[in-house]
Structure 1
Amino acid sequence: MKNKVKAVLMDTGVDKNHEYLKDNIIGGMSFSCDDEYITADDNYEDKNGHGTSCASVIKREFKDVEIFAVKVLDEKGRTNIQILEEALKYFLDKNFRLINLSLSVIENEEVEDLYGICGKLKEKGKIIVCSLANGFEKSYPASFDNVIGVKGFILEDENSFWYSKDKDIQCIMDNNPYMNCKPDNSYSLFRKYNSAFCIQERE
């Protein structure tokens, strides 16, 4: 018997009451910045919809997946690098192997500490999958050598993907749009964004 896929989803939170997702959400938390301090609590309600959409992509690929939702992006999809670093450090000693990040940092001058944290997670056997920023050749952590970077592209069929461990962005997924969950038990068409594809791993 195969083990269930257990994934951390770092995004805008998730609608834990969505009919399609509610049996797959095993918990969650939120990281935010209060003045100069990073705070954490258990309110991971999705006020944007992006995280809920990404959760539905994960479930489409792995029906019995267990998702731990981590809200690091606000209702406008924004965060800062310190929030992301603290959220990743939290999982250094937690029992989760797969961490999904559908977000990006553009400025490479700010990413040295982030790279170090990703390296420590990899040393502990964690797998970080991160989408490339839309319209960019490089973004972080997707372009780190200790992270699996993913972007979408039009491939020959909807189930195809391309992978090379020697590339800067190692995985390219077919980016045909399809319906995904949105908050309040609704659905919408997820457009051709890289963030939609970084959790479509195949067994």
Structure 2
Amino acid sequence: MDGTGSGKFDFTSFTGKGVKVAIVDSGIDPSHPDVGEVAGGLRVRTDEGGKLLFDENWIDEVGHGTACAGIVRKKAPDVLLYSVRIFEDASLSAKGEVLVEAIRWCLENGMKVINLSLGTTRRELVPSLEARLDKEGGDLSL
């Protein structure tokens, strides 16, 4: 693999059977023909006062997370997809605390792969994410 976390992998024999994959994004639309079954998920957001809120409304209303899920499903058709919705609208923006809580949920719920098709200007979050992943025995590829 190169420094971006991408590289060549032989997907011809890998189906992902039993592997839990979280798509942390705008949600997933399970009715999309390229996605299919979604095993579960949650939405993480904040109220007007900044309090973290959690609910089960993880369905995508924007399309970005669904597109990411479709790519994962094409490469590994038997994975267990989980939707972790952190984006509420087409701006695709969320507070850093929401992202951290979403990743915490993923780790606590046994996700083996966490897809983060996003960027941040808050580099100060990276050390705490790396520390948590080290504790859980994971890797962070940027």
Say whether the 8 Å CA contact 1:99–1:126 is kept in structure 2: no
Identity across matched positions, percent: 26
Say whether the 8 Å CA contact 1:46–1:75 is kept in structure 2: no
Structure 1, unaligned stretches of length 5 or more?
128-146, 150-203
Q: CA RMSD in A?
A: 2.0
TM-score (norm 2): 0.79
Query: Whose radius of gyration is greater, 1 or 2?
Result: 1
Provide the residue aligned with 1:79 in structure 2: 94
| Equivalent position amino acid for 1:125 in 2 | G
Task: Count how many residue pairs are aligned between Structure 1 and Structure 2.
Answer: 126
| Equivalent position amino acid for 1:62 in 2 | A
- CA distance in 2: counterparts of 1:16 and 1:8, whole angstroms: 14
Provide the residue aligned with 1:106 in structure 2: 121
Provide the residue aligned with 1:148 in structure 2: 141
- Displacement, 1:14? 0.7
| Equivalent position amino acid for 2:129 in 1 | I
TM-score (norm 1): 0.57
- CA distance in 2: counterparts of 1:63 and 1:126, whole angstroms: 23
- Displacement, 1:56? 0.5
After TM superposition, list the pairs within 5 Å mapping 1:99-178 onto structure 2. Answer: 99-108=114-123, 111-112=124-125, 114-127=126-139, 147-149=140-142
Structure 1 residue runs of 4+, over 3 Å off?
none
- Displacement, 1:93? 2.5
Provide the residue aligned with 1:44 in structure 2: 58
Say whether the 8 Å CA contact 2:96–2:122 is kept in structure 1: no
Provide the residue aligned with 2:40 in structure 1: 27
Say whether the 8 Å CA contact 2:20–2:110 is kept in structure 1: no
Provide the residue aligned with 2:6 in structure 1: none
